[in-house]
Each structure stands twice: as structure tokens, then as C-alpha cells.
Amino acid sequence: MRRKAIAVILGGGKGTRLFPLTKLRSKPAVPIAGKYRLVDIPISNCLNSDIRRIYVLTQFNSASLNRHIKNTYNFDVFSDGFVDILAAEQTPKSKTWYQGTADAVRQSIHHMESHEHQHVFVLSGDQLYQMDYRNLMGKHERFDADLTVATIPVVAEDATGFGIMKTNSSGEIESFVEKPEPDELDQWQSETEEKFKKDGRVYLASMGIYIFKKEALKVLLDEHDEATDFGKEIIPQAINNNFKVQSFEFDGYWTDIGTIKSFFEANLALTDDLPKFNLYDNEDFIYTHARLLPASKLSGTTFDHSVLAEGCLIEASRIERSVIGIRSRIGKGTTIENSIIMGNDYFQSQDEMEESDEEPSVMGIGERCFVSNAIIDKNVRIGDDVRIAGGDHLEDGEYGNYHVVDGIVIVPKGEAIPAGTKI
């Protein structure tokens, strides 16, 4: 596996559906689960699957992503492994930035030619799942496929939001439709395992995870040089032009972190008694930057179904079903519920807080606050006696130092909420 394959992780476009979390960073750099970044998920899946040659393609707001990868994924000098950034660049052959997923790989593929490989994994940088890619590779090689698409069985209600694959009895993909209409669904059912059929999961949705034979990928990108997207153009072209396209059915937890709502729900799901995404695995680790932070300090706080990262100073009265990120500071008498607090990039010293001209001066959440159904980004300063109560009663929009999306209140990175504010 180590010498057979190279992985390409797509760093994402502008990430407009995750705005304002992507105001200052790319989608894969968005913090998740208190201490990780979204890009850590596909990279960790690669490392756990013995894939150690990984490219991350970046373009928009890439500085924090580049810094995170540079500081995190360093292999020893006796290894041929690497995690390299391939930033969009203008060359004599291409004067434009990446125009889509397929175009990004087309413009970058020449960098991979110096490394021996037979297959190329193309992975998304903004999904939450754990997969052993060796199983995907095994089916790909067993059926001698040119392209294998990871699919997940879904019910009719979800099928209209995905690209749906129709397979024959051997699992070969014969046709593809992007987001079918409800009245078309009957013709897009596939033969799935009995356990999926019982739940009505008879539609195979593309997960945006692909493995190509090296030669097939090059031919498809060269012959369809106007195609910019894998899902909408390259995959249908491969099916229509008699390439052998196989489906790999994935039986596990997977969610696409494409919207604020899905990001919010995926994070809070980690607080469940038995979360579907397992951070507590003895073998399949989720890797991230080793920060060497001190243990968190709690004083008089009642915790219930919450995730607490390192380096926090917590004096809150109650924290319930929330994710509390690294270096978070929360004052006395404060209640946090159903919220994501991303924490801080650094510790403020006592002198910095006392000498600051900013109001409030302390990075974190002040005393006697109430925060519900909210996402508080990094380095935010919230004064005392602030009330933030997200919900359906709030109208979506931009409100200066905060935003509302799907009823979720988002305070962007570095913003300040004055003492006594009511949202």
C-alpha cells in the first residue's frame, strides 16, 4: 500500500456555506472536536491506512491551513512519507487558479510524477468519518477497476441531496445522476445488503471519495480538459466512456461538513454517550498538532455530556452538551449549553489583560453569561452578563459582530461582544 498509492486531499474552495467560520481560513482548517482541524480527518485516515505520501491542494484563505500542516505532519529522515501543500499556481501551461476539484488535480498532477505509484486517492478535506482505505483499495484491485467510488446507502429522503450511483449485480456503476428529483427515485434504486434494505437504504450516494488507476486518471483529465469537477463531469464521463467504474459500499459513520448546521450537529454529536465518530480508539488515532498544553482547570462547574480540550480555565456554573476547545476561559456563574466554544490560539498573561485598552479585555467568556445554540470562534472576547440564545426565533443574517445561520448564533474569530449584550 505504501508504494502503490498517493493521496490527494482537496483543500476546498471559498467555503461560502461555512461562512463566517471560513472568513479567515479555508474549510479544512476549521477547528472541530475541541482540538483538531477538519483536514486532520482525511490525513489521519491515510496514515492509519499506511498511505504516507499525501498532497493537500489549497487555494483560498490557506495561510492557517498551511501553517497547521507544516507544524503537524513531519516524517523522519529515514521515511519517504510526506504531507505536502500544493498551492494554486500560475504556470506556462495554466494562467488560471483552480476552477474546481478536477481542475485542481489536473493542474497539480505533474508534481506527483516523480513518485512511484499505481493508484491515486482523491479525498475531500471537509468530511467526518473513519475509513480503512486498504479495504477500498482491495476491492478496486480485486475487480481491476479504473475508478472506484466510495458510496454510502441512503434513504429516499436523503437521496435527492446527493449524486446517486446505480450499480449492477457485481457492484459496477452503470449510471449516475446528480441530485435526482423525488419522482425519479424509483429508477435509481440499487441492490444493497439486506440490513440496508430493511431501513430503506437502497440508494447509493457518492461520498466524494475516489481511487483511480494512475493511467485512467490522466486519460480522463486530458481527454476532458474542459471538465472542472469530479462529481458532475469526470465520473459521468468515465461511466459513459466504458471505463470500469466500481462502487465500494461503506458501512460506517460519515457526514459531509458542508454547512453551518451540519458542522454544528456533527460537533455536538461527539458529546453523546456512544458517539458514532470514535475519538477514543486505541489503533485508529486522529492526529493533530501536539501543543503540549497543561491540563484543564475546573472550579465549581457541573459538566454534563460535554467535551473538554486541554489548557482550559473554567469557572462556569454549568456546561451541558457542548464542545469546549483548547485554552478556553469561562467565568464564574456562566451557563453554556448546546454550543461550540473553539477556545483561543494563545494564553493571555495577567499583564496583557490589565494593560489592554480593548473592552472586554479578556479573551474568553465573562461572568454570569448564558450561551445557548451558538458557535463562539477562537480569540473571541465576551463581556460579563451577556446573553446569547440561538434558536428558530432568530432571523438569519449578519449583525455586525455576530451572524445567525439556521438559528445558530456565530461570533466570528477575534470579535468582541460588550458586557450586558442580549442576542
- By DSSP bridging, strand 147-154 and strand 127-129 are unpaired
Q: What DSSP character marks residue 208?
A: E
Predicted pLDDT of residue 346: 95
pLDDT at 96: 64
Predicted pLDDT at 110:
83
d(CA 128, CA 398): 28
Where are the domains positioned within the chain? 5-269, 297-417
Q: How far apart are the C-alpha atoms of 168 and 175, rounded to whole Å?
A: 10
Residues of the chain with pLDDT under 70: 1-3, 12-14, 88-98
The pLDDT score that the predictor gives to residue 97 is 60
Determine the pLDDT at residue 339: 98
Which residues are bridge partners to 149 per DSSP?
210, 247
Output the pTM of the full model: 0.93
Handedness of CA 221, 227, 229, 231 (dihedral sign): negative
CATH number of the 5-269 domain: 3.90.550.10
With beta carbons less than 8 A apart as the criterion, state whether 218 and 145 touch.
no
Render pLDDT for 255-300 as a digit per residue (tens, 0 to 9).
989 899 999 999 999 999 999 999 998 888 999 999 999 999 999 9
For 353-390, the pLDDT digits (tens) are 888 888 898 999 999 999 999 999 999 999 999 999 99
Q: Which three three-digit cell numbers place residue 173?
A: 456503476
Cα distance between residue 399 and residue 411, in whole Å: 10
H/E segment holding residue 217: helix 214-223
Distance CA 385, CA 363 (A): 15
The pLDDT score that the predictor gives to residue 304 is 97
CATH of region 297-417, choose from 3.40.50.2300, 3.30.565.10, 2.160.10.10, 1.10.3720.10: 2.160.10.10
C-alpha span between 103 and 108 (Å, rounded) = 9
* Identical topology for domains 5-269 and 297-417: no
Residue-level pLDDT at 77: 78
Instruction: Say what the pLDDT of residue 93 is.
Output: 59
- How many C-beta atoms surround the C-beta of residue 99 within 10 A? 17
The pLDDT, as a whole number, for residue 281 is: 86
271 contacts 307 by C-beta, under 8 angstroms: yes
